[in-house]
A and B are shown apart, each in its own frame.
Chain A
Amino acid sequence: MLGYYFKLALRNLNRNPGLTTLMIGAVALGIAVCVMTLTMYRAMSGNPIWWKNDVLYAVTLDAWDPKEPANEDRPELPPWQLTYRDAMALIESDIPKHKIIMHKAIGVVAVDGLRVKPERALTRVTTSDFFAIFDVPFKYGGGWAPRADEGPEPVAVLSKKMNDKVFGGENSVGRQIRWNDREFRVVGVLDHWLPLPIFYDVNNGSLEEPEDVFIPFGWNVALELQSAGNTNGWKPEEIETYQDFINSEDIWIQMWVELPDATARQRFQAFIDNYVIAQKKSGRFQRPLNNRLTPVDQWLIDNEVVGNDDRVLVGLAFAFLAVCLLNTVGLLLAKFLNNAPITGIRRALGASRRQVFMQHLVEVSVISSIGAVAGLALGGLMLMGLRALYTVDPTDGGGTQALAHVDFTSVATALLLALFATVAAGLYPAWRIGRIPPAIYLKAQ
């Protein structure tokens, strides 16, 4: 009988095309908004490197103003970045298995002899462990050796996207690029890598894509590089030279360490505490001792990657889906009651209430399935629209570009939920139509 009901459901779609379109539209819209919101929420709230949650830590020290905290809303938290000199001191520790200090910069990439116009490229200026500590996959080559940070050596790693753009996706290891008019040799090309949110530098935009070029940290001094992200300071200081800048209390460097076990963690905590205590003696770090090693999960919470607004937005999206489904219930009732005379005929010819209920439930399932597929497509379009809306500068990763890479687990969850909800919403109309006495329609047909 299910096959027969399915055939009838398809036929009934055409019986009231206006109502059918409205119902599918309502379901699709509700699902689309949910899929879009859930995708954004998942993208913003997930821990993209969960397998390292108990070994990977962001390092923060409270070197801020003794009179007021760095974050008035969360006064217990130290600032989220380090000064250059503190970062340079802490990176000397040999306790971590991997350790990095880094910041974001902007450069212009060109290639001599290629008809590729110079590209403005987000760049990460980092120590060599970046690729190992974050398990970054390589398509060609690899990262650079630690000694390249000190030289510094003119080596670079390109993202897959940049390599595709500049070298047409070929193995470019050994090729030269010009980064801000200085020659760099490509030593590696990343494979597809899209950690969402971009946990290692959340203050620069949690939904951005990773940078397109990676160069050794040592180039900071040689090229007098500054951060393309936030640089914050609390102390009025005379800064006239680059040397003044890197010796200042301005914070702009991120530091991450990989500590393989609790012992290493305790040792490194003691190391940074001792460092700060020593600095206190020279008049720095006048706030209470507050040095933190923060795992990624906590880091995302502390930095409010998923704010209350986002949770409210998800709630609103589901409330909107509920409104759409309530409307669908009304439309289903209207459609079914409109067809009540035909149901009356079927009842007269031997259909039981259960059979009428099942027939209409199959019809609801067909409508909700079509609505779900349409909702998925509409959700995809909405995400594309969002992506286009935010991608003003094509070289800017544009946080929502990443949303093109939707997490299909969350989409499947939203779809199943919506299908279940729609079928549940159709239970009442399907039950109601079966309870109508058939006789009243047979005379009036």
Chain B
Amino acid sequence: MKIDETKCTGCGTCVPYCPAEAISLAGRKGPQPAGGRKKQNQVAVIDFDECAECGVCLRSANCPADAIYQQELVYPRSIRSLMSDVLTIAPESQISGRGTEEMKTNEVTGRFPRGVAGLAIEVGRPITGTRLRDVEKIAMAVAALNVEFEKINPTTSMMSDIKTGKFKDELLNEKVLSAIIEFCVRVEQLPELFGILKTVEKQIDSVFSLDVACRLNPDGSNPTQSYIASAGLWVAPNGKTNVGLGRPLIQEGLSK
């Protein structure tokens, strides 16, 4: 995102809107905005390297001078918009908001059959954002479990090798609000996975949010509960429940 300094009046309205804290006010060096009645000493500037191209300032700050504009996004910078702007649609999933169907449609897709846990590691969430090199570090660490990364996911598309979790080199310094590493493991693999994450979390400069999805047992119990408890992990009292209304239902036993 960019700000036209010849229009900006330096009012600062846009500054607090930026989730990446990339907008600030600076001393004006260029000409005064056209039509201004009094001298404007300040101008809003965007730290282009920190901007994640999320679109919040353009959409929500309601710049009174209409000074914020979207420059042409060219690869690899275009990845920032894909992973940060909720209204940008991913070509893989055709879903807006950098996400995937994961457990939301599990009764229809059978993506996570019984005995399998779906994992999502959302790097950069909440608040900190992330460079993609941190996402690569985590992806390469969990790849040691021979996981298959979800193919219908824009994060997987950024990998140069989906076996090792290696990312395309030109993307490593790109800044995004978040990127979701998504894969499945057998529920028995959860302890090993948690151990890997406890190690790699110390090697990154951002935060990540971790979640586990699973098909419930026939009696309604949670097959991942004992593994999570044994690992001593905190688990939120609130979460998502797919109530099984999608049609057609996947036929049990035919799912992968």
A and B assemble together: no
Which residues of A does B touch, CB under 8 Å? Answer: none
